[in-house]
Amino acid sequence: MNFPKMDRKKIQRIIEVVLLAAALILGGSAINDYYQAYKQTQLNEELRQQIEEQVDLLARQEPAEEQVSAPANIFLLEPLRAVNQETVAWLDVDGTKIQYPVVQTADNDYYLRYTFQRERSILGAIFMDFRNNPMLQDFNTVIYGHTNRGSEEMFGSMKLLRDQDYWQDNHTVTVMLDDRYYKYEIFSVYATEADFDYRTPNYRRPEDAERFLREIQERSEIKSDVVPTPDDKILTLSTCTFEFNDARLALHAVLVEERDAENKLVMYNDRK
Instruction: Give the model confidence (pLDDT) of 172-227 as tens digits.
Output: 999 999 888 999 999 999 999 999 999 999 999 999 999 999 999 999 999 999 99
The 10s digit of each residue's pLDDT in 106-146 is 999 999 999 999 988 888 999 999 999 999 999 999 999 99
Three-state DSSP class for 153?
coil
Q: Which fold has domain 71-268?
A: Sortase; Chain: A; (2.40.260)
Would you state the pLDDT for residue 261? Answer: 75
The ranges assigned to domains in the chain are: 71-268
| Amino acid residing at 270 | D
Alpha-helical (H) ranges within the chain are 8-26, 29-60, 78-81, 110-113, 164-169, 206-219
Average pLDDT over residues 240-268: 91
Distance, in Å, from the CA atom of 145 to the CA atom of 173, rounded to the nearest integer, reads 15
Would you state the pLDDT for residue 3? Answer: 38
More confident residue, 115 or 75: 115
pLDDT for 148 beyond 60: yes
Distance, in Å, from the CA atom of 87 to the CA atom of 102, rounded to the nearest integer, reads 6
Would you state the pLDDT for residue 74? Answer: 42
Average pLDDT over residues 162-173: 96
Question: Which residues, in sequence order, are CB contacts of 51 under 8 Å at separation 6+?
Answer: 80, 90, 99
Provide the pLDDT confidence category of residue 67 given band limits of 50, 70 and 90. very low
In terms of Cβ atoms closer than 10 Å to its own Cβ (0-12, 13-18, 19+), residue 84 is middle
Average pLDDT over residues 161-174: 96
